[in-house]
Amino acid sequence: MKKNGFTLIETIIAITIAGVISSMLFVVITTGIDSWGFLRGQKKLMQEVKGVLIRMTKEIRRVKSNSSSNIITFTPGDFKFVDIDDNMIEYKRNGANLERNGSILLSGIASPDGLHFTYLDGSGNVATIESNINVVQFNLVVQDGKNVVRLSSGAGIRNR
């Protein structure tokens, strides 16, 4: 007798093997898509935080340097100063937001040290009075879902 076709067992084995291979491919493709989404979000967040750091660095460099009264507030979470154009500028944390003069500059600041200022004198030691501040260092930690970006920068105050 001549056999045409497949037996039931051969068909079941073929379907099982195809199912295992398909599920492995599904896992690989899903992992790749998840990784792509994570990296896309990380890149977007990094660009946003970097832009804010560049702006802060430029503005802090412009602190008016002729008098110590131009640095109004200098705490770890708040820096308020007068720039060379006599504009009052304040960077502070308000909840999960970084604010510049009361307007939200960046959202998603991590808690508790998502924004941290350090004030240094000419020797690199922590400055305790505003007239000794030569350098302002600042750290930002921003979180958006699974994406976390930690960046630091610093700015030397002109003519100090």
pLDDT tens digits for 23-37? Answer: 999 999 999 999 999
Q: What φ, ψ does residue 49 adopt, rounded to 5°? A: -65, -40
Residues 8-13 have a mean pLDDT of 93
Per-residue model confidence (pLDDT) at position 44: 92
pLDDT confidence of residue 25: 95
> Each residue of 97-146: pLDDT tens digit?
999 999 999 999 998 889 999 999 989 999 988 888 999 999 999 999 88
Please report, for residues 6, 96, 121, 133, the alpha-carbon distance to residue 124 in angstroms, rounded to integers and kept in the order given: 81, 30, 5, 10
Amino acid at residue number 113: D
Q: pTM of the full predicted structure?
A: 0.78
At 46, the pLDDT band (50, 70, 90 cuts) reads very high
- Tokens 């492995």 locate to 24
